């Protein structure tokens, strides 16, 4: 049984890889930082291979989809955020964010799903965020990218249901998690972050049972129903107050 995990060089991806390894999966660890991918490999109980690649490169994604056409699992996790006023975000970094969180995520999702549908089995986990359910002033591109992951997954899930797909799809929506995410995004969390280990131990057993929504943080499980009740304009105002404290 083979599981491909993107963003396996740190944080949530590394811990999900560890949790899958304990359950007997052979891991394919994907990321750009070879040294850290090797570190992840060293933490695993079972076999693994490393694929060092920048997922914003289409050729890299194509080769991954082709090489692992028989994979049992895709954990579509690689992603990052950028903090700051939309007008002050460096153009290059905002573009890279969309290429990673949206374009690469969608390409891998479609490529692996197509192969799994042909074989009539497989599991895909798309990593979104609670940010995908809110407008996100001062992290607008990141929140919007995660809303894309949420809506894309919800829509495709319905298509899969309609064709009685044997493949399962899950959507991981963490709140704040203590990883290198905040340093890379240049932000401080307003709430205490969960550990990536706890996120993985909540997520992996439910993912392997085919559960769709996965909210590992009890605080976001509590808040989420109210997000649908409040108008977006009010949510944006509240989010702005919270985000201002993060700089």
Ligand X SMILES: NC(=O)c1ccc[n+]([C@@H]2O[C@H](COP(=O)([O-])OP(=O)(O)OC[C@H]3O[C@@H](n4cnc5c(N)ncnc54)[C@H](OP(=O)(O)O)[C@@H]3O)[C@@H](O)[C@H]2O)c1
Q: Which residues in this chain contact ligand X in the complex, by CB under 6 A?
A: 6-7, 9-13, 31-33, 36, 54-56, 77-80, 100, 127, 129, 174, 176-177, 179-181, 184, 193
| 73 contacts 168 by C-beta, under 8 angstroms | no
- Return the structure tokens found at 84: 């700051």
Widest CA span of the chain, in angstroms?
A: 49
* Active-site entry in 25, 142, 143, 202: 142
Closer CB to ligand X, residue 108 or residue 113?
A: 108
Say which residues have a Cβ less than 8 Å from residue 225's Cβ, sequence separation at least 6. Answer: none
Closer CB to ligand X, residue 184 or residue 206?
A: 184
DSSP 104-129: IHHHHHHHHHHHHHHHT--EEEEE--
Q: Measured from the CB of residue 189, what is the shortest distance to ligand X in angstroms? A: 7
A 10 A CB-CB count for 122 gives 21
Closer CB to ligand X, residue 79 or residue 137?
A: 79
Q: Measured from the CB of residue 127, what is the shortest distance to ligand X in angstroms? A: 5
Closer CB to ligand X, residue 180 or residue 232?
A: 180
Beta strands in 182-239 (DSSP E): 194-195, 213-214
Tell me the residue nearest to ligand X as measured from the CB. 11
* Active-site entry in 25, 146, 148, 202: 146
- Return the structure tokens found at 30: 């994907």
Q: What is the spatial distance between Cα 149 and Cα 214, in angstroms, rounded to a whole number?
A: 13
142 is catalytic: yes
| 14 contacts 184 by C-beta, under 8 angstroms | no
Q: Measured from the CB of residue 2, what is the shortest distance to ligand X in angstroms? A: 19
Q: Measured from the CB of residue 228, what is the shortest distance to ligand X in angstroms? A: 19
Active-site positions read: 142, 146
């Amino acid at each position: 049984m083979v599981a491909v995990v993107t963003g396996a060089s740190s944080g949530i991806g590394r811990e999900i890889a560890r949790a899958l390894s304990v359950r007997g999966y052979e891991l394919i660890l994907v990321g750009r930082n070879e040294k850290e991918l090797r570190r992840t490999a060293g933490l695993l109980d079972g076999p693994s291979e490393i694929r060092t690649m920048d997922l914003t490169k289409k050729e890299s994604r194509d080769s991954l989809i082709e090489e692992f056409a028989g994979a049992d699992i895709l954990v579509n996790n690689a992603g990052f955020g950028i903090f700051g006023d939309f007008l002050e975000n460096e153009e290059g970094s905002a573009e890279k964010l969309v290429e990673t969180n949206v374009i690469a995520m969608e390409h891998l999702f479609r490529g692996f799903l197509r192969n799994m549908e042909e074989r009539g089995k497989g599991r895909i986990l798309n990593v979104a965020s609670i940010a995908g359910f809110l407008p996100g002033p001062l992290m607008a591109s990141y929140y919007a990218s995660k809303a894309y992951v949420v809506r894309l997954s919800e829509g495709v899930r319905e298509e899969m249901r309609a064709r009685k797909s044997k493949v399962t799809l899950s959507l991981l929506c963490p709140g704040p998690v203590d990883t290198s995410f905040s340093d890379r995004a240049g932000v401080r969390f307003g709430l205490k972050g969960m550990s990536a280990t706890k996120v993985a131990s909540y997520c992996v057993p439910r993912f392997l049972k085919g559960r769709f929504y996965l909210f590992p943080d009890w605080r976001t499980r509590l808040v989420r129903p109210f997000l649908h009740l409040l108008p977006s304009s009010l949510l944006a105002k509240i989010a702005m107050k919270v985000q201002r404290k993060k700089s």
